[in-house]
Amino acid sequence: MDDKTMNFLRERLGDTNYQKLIKIKNPNLYEFIAKYIELCNPDRVFVCNDSPEDFNYIRKSAIKNGEESPLAIPGHTVHFDNYYDQARDKKNTCILVSPGTELGSAVNTKDRDEGLREIHEILKNIMKGKELYILFLCLGPTGSEFSIPCVQLTDSSYVAHNEILLYRPGYDEFVKQGVSARFFKFVHSAGELDERKTCKNLDKRRIYIDLENEIVYSANTQYGGNTIGLKKLAMRLAIKRGSEEGWLTEHMFILGIHGPNNRVTYFTGAFPSLCGKTSTAMLEGETIVGDDIVYMRKKNGEIRAVNVEKGMFGIIQGINSKDDPILWKALHNEGEIIFSNVLVTEDKRVHWIGKDGDVPSRGYNHSGEWFIGKKDAEGKEIPCSHPNARFTLELSLLENVDPKLNDPEGVVVKGIVYGGRDSDTWLPVEEAFDWVHGIITKGASLESETTAATLGKEGVRKFNPMSNLDFLSIPIGKYIQINLDFTKDLEKPPRIFSVNYFLKDEKGNFLNEKTDKKIWYKWMELRVHDEVDAIETPTGRIPKYEDLQRLFKEVLNRDYSKEDYNKQFMIRIPENLAKIERIKNIYETQVPDAPEILFKVLEEQKQRLLKAREKLGDYITPDRLR
């Protein structure tokens, strides 16, 4: 390392912070940090070495800087984003690609040279007058083959505070790996702030991902989905790296289902937004390893998975004491929690859409001073909290956290679940015939209705393969092929299932209770251990009535009628055929590199459906298939 770089760092960091940095023996790290200190030009630099004192400095800075305010319950704070900075900015989130690189129409890309020029111009002197926080973090458990060390540069104490709650400390991992560390890099600046300490220059909001150098840039935004780089932004880097190294990055929870004789069986599950992902991860009586992102690797003939994070950045809308007792308890007890874009009352309590009790008449929220009936500049009534209001907490605050959360070996995955909001086609639970059938007809065919259907009408269906479409950094066809190939050398891969909590009858009434999902997972747990049989249908394998009847009584203490079973598990042939045509059309017209086997498997499913219709009609109850 040249003396010029080291002298520059010593001068800008000061002795204490410089000594923390050089304990990590990595010249590439020094060059990266020096480059962006010089470009962004902060007044002060703080290097976090994961000591309690350093973490506390970040917590106190968030309050001192005005990015967070204390609430009535000890450890709780609140943050507000700009009124128009409340969600992922898909338009200005781009993957930077060199000429000749094609990722497909579903992936938002930008010329790499042009993008780097633009973002570096935006970042020039952007931190003048501010403090830069340098954090060392780890994706996945530390001391593990899953570990990916990361360095975050940010001038937002709120972003830094979120990241120390969400991710494992990585300073010691950097020290241990030294010069051999292959680390992801993140550069973020909230930019100029207004009097409410929210971003002013949203017209210059940019989130660019440079796959070649494994750097994520984020500027002029505070909303977590745009700024907490190790979350969805790092997924693009990890999907690319995993595709080259033979492991998977998936948008999934990890859940431990508790079976007979104290057995715990682990499932991962992919669900688009508003399809029950968090409520499933938090199933009462089961244990949560993670609610959002997993890395999966093959080891000793098994698939193992880890939660990339150690915390939860969750949507708070709709959380209530009846449906979400564990989260509700955590959100009302002492402990370190950051609320964002909720309503704060005069007594420093928080309220949100769907919370127990009446909505307070007044308070302070993402729009400033708020009262019932307040409207924004467009004349739209402002709710008490933003629909995308969030909370950040460590999973350790939850009483159902699984003891294997930080296991460096990960957990053995026995089942993979795909679920979407579907009013008329998919069954409440169904097992695929095999891995290839599951990846294609369940994962690669995943759709979700973007709006709840009104009586008698469909919602708008959105195609979202593996619930990962927004985060892909490789072409869709290649991504599906990688999933298909992942278990080729495994004798017994995990079983693949689909679930659907939103099936309706012809009158538009839901066919299931909210708590029924507990039964579907108990059945899946028994299936992966071959302890219950199944009925074969044209689209997969479904439970037998007597097994569900027993489980409903044992788990929910409820009677389960044959009539309900036949309604819920009826094979709807016209709807299934229509779905196959929709999915085939998407892959034929929008995915030029779609694997040929995808069309073969879909055609085979179509022929099974046609054959069944010829023999049994359009709508087939399970008792006619036995």
Catalytic residues: 275
- Strand pairing report for 287-290 and 429-431: unpaired
CA-based end-to-end distance of the chain: 72
Q: Which two tokens stand for residue 326?
A: 């564990």
3-state secondary structure 416-460: EEEECCCCCCCCCEEECCCHHHHHHHHHCCCEEECCCCCCCCCCC
CA distances from 147 to 141, 296, 306, 406 (A): 6, 12, 10, 11
Instruction: Return the DSSP state at 388.
Output: T
Residue 258 per-residue DSSP state: E
Specify whether the CB–CB gap between 473 and 237 falls below 8 A: yes
Burial class (CB within 10 angstroms; exposed 0-12, middle 13-18, buried 19+) of 496: buried
Query: From residue 126, how far is each of 41, 162, 191, 369, 447 by CA, in Å?
Result: 7, 21, 6, 29, 41
C-alpha 97/C-alpha 311 separation (Å) is 32
Instruction: For residues 581 and 602, give the distance between their C-alpha atoms in angstroms, rounded to a whole number.
Output: 9
Q: Is 98 exposed, middle or buried (0-12, 13-18, 19+ CB in 10 A)?
A: exposed
Residue type, 359: V
| Residue 207 bridge partners (DSSP) | 93, 218
